[in-house]
Amino acid sequence: MKAAVYLGGPKNIKIQEVPDPVLLDGEILVKVGAGNICGVDSRTYNHGDKKIEPPRILGHEFAGTVVEVANGDTDIKEGDRITSYVVLPCGTCVYCKRGRANLCDTRTTISYHYDGAFAQYMVLPKGTVDNRHVFRIPEHVSFEEAALSEPLATVLNAQGKLNIGIKDTVVVLGAGPIGILHSLVSKIEGATHVCLMDVSPGRLKLAEQFDLDRYVQVKEDGSHIEQAKALNDGLVPDVVIVANTAATSQGDALEMAGKGARVEFFGGLPKSNPYATLNTNLIHYREIIVSGSFSSRIEDFRNALKVVSSGLLPVKQLITHRFPLDAMLKAFEVIPAGEAIKVSIQPN
Ligand SMILES: [Zn+2]
Ligand SMILES: [Zn+2]
C-alpha cells in the first residue's frame, strides 16, 4: 500500500510503497477515509520529533471503513464506518483509575507508537479494540468531519475546567483550528462575547466566516491587551484561552484577564525552551485561576463525536483543503502560509 512515512528528522516524510498490514488477533484493519493534519504533524514534519522512532506513519485524526476484524472481542464489523480514540492507557495506574487516561504515565498513542492514518490502510491496535475505543460514525457524518472529533475532544477536555456560561466574555489567543474550535464551543456554551486574536491578519480573515463577536490582531506594541481590557464594558475578559505555542501569549493572557478570571494554557511551549516570563502578582491580586490541558479523556472523545454528529458546530467549514496522499507534502506548505484552517488527507 501507499503511505507517508516519517523517516526521522526535519522535512523527512516520504510517500512510498510499504508492505500491506497483516493483522494480529484482536486488531482491526481500516481503509482510511480521511486523515486530517494536526499542528503536531506539521511540527514533526518541519522540525522532527525525537519521541517518534522512525519509520513511522503519522496521522491521529482519522476516520475510515473497517475492512477486517481479527478475532476481536468487539461488536465492530466489516463495513462499519468508524473513528477511534488515539490514546492507549495502561488501565492500572492511579490516573487511569481516576478516568484520566490522557495523564497516564505509560500511555502510548496511535501515530507515536503505532502507525497512523496517512496511508491507504491502518491497523487499530488490540488495546484500542479491547477498551471499546472504536466508535461507529452516523451515516450523515463524513469521514473528514468525524476526524475532527480528536481535536475537538482535546478542546472539550480544557473547556470542562473553564465553566463558560452566559455573561462570560472570552478571549482566545490563536486563530488556528484549535483556537477556532475553542471560540465556537465557548459560543455554544453561552458566552456572550467571544474575541479571537492572532498575529496573522490572514488567519483572522479566514476565521471571519465563523461570525465571532470580534477579531483583533496581536501586535508587539501590546495594543491587543488594551483592546481586550475594553471588552465587556471595561469588565475585562472572564476567560482567556491560549491556543498557540508562544510564551508571550501566556504573559499577555494574564495581563488581559479580569479579576476572578479563568486562564487556560492550552498550547504547550517548545520543549527546547518551555519558560515564559509571567507577572504572577496578577494571579495573586486578581485571583486568577490558571489551568492547563493535555490531550483528551475517553468521555471527551465520545462527547466530541456526539457534537460533530449533532450539527451544532460548522464542522464542514473548518476543512478548507483536501489533498490525495501523493500530494501530502504540499499540504505542509499551505498550513504555515496561513491559507488553511484544517487540511484533510484522503488517501483512497
Ligand atoms: Zn491532533
Ligand atoms: Zn495508566
Average pLDDT, the chain: 96
Cis-peptide, bond into residue 55, ω within 30° of zero: yes
The neighbouring-strand residues paired with 289 are 262
CA of 236 to the centre of ligand 1 (A): 31
So what's the pLDDT on residue 333? 86
Q: Which is more confidently placed, 270 or 155?
A: 155
The H-assigned helical ranges of 25-124 are: 39-47, 94-97
So what's the pLDDT on residue 236? 86
Reported pTM: 0.97
Dist. CA 91–CA 100, nearest whole Å: 10
So what's the pLDDT on residue 212? 97
189 φψ region: left (φ > 0), alpha (ψ -120 to 50), beta (else): alpha
Structural domains in the chain, CATH included, are 2-147+314-345 (3.90.180.10), 157-292 (3.40.50.720)
Dist. CA 116–CA 56, nearest whole Å: 8
| Ligand nearest to the Cα of 101, by number | 2
Q: What is the mean pLDDT of residues 301-320?
A: 96
CA of 5 to the centre of ligand 1 (A): 17
Closest CA to 263 of 226, 291, 294: 291
So what's the pLDDT on residue 216? 97
| Ligand nearest to the Cα of 149, by number | 1
So what's the pLDDT on residue 72? 76
| Ligand nearest to the Cα of 176, by number | 1
pLDDT tens sequence across 193-212: 999 999 999 999 999 999 99
pLDDT tens sequence across 247-304: 999 999 999 999 999 999 998 998 889 999 999 999 999 999 999 999 999 999 999 9
Contact 105, 300 (CB under 8 A): no
Coil, strand, or helix at residue 160?
helix
Residue 73's pLDDT band, with cuts at 50, 70 and 90, is confident
Q: What cell does 21 get?
A: 498490514
Q: What is the mean pLDDT of residues 178-193?
A: 97
CA of 97 to the centre of ligand 2 (A): 7
Contact 223, 156 (CB under 8 A): no
Q: What cell does 13 get?
A: 516524510
CA distances from 109 to 25, 76, 167, 205, 346 (A): 19, 21, 38, 34, 21
Dist. CA 26–CA 29, nearest whole Å: 10
Does residue 232 have a pLDDT over 80? no
Does residue 235 have a pLDDT over 80? no
CA of 195 to the centre of ligand 1 (A): 23
92 phi, psi to nearest 5 deg: -120, -15
CA of 304 to the centre of ligand 2 (A): 22
Residue 135's pLDDT band, with cuts at 50, 70 and 90, is very high
CA of 109 to the centre of ligand 1 (A): 11
Q: What is the mean pLDDT of residues 90-111?
A: 96
Does residue 220 have a pLDDT over 90? yes
CA of 108 to the centre of ligand 2 (A): 10
So what's the pLDDT on residue 64? 98
92, HSE (Cβ side, Cα atoms, 13 Å): 1
Does residue 165 have a pLDDT over 90? yes
CA of 66 to the centre of ligand 1 (A): 22
CA of 347 to the centre of ligand 1 (A): 18
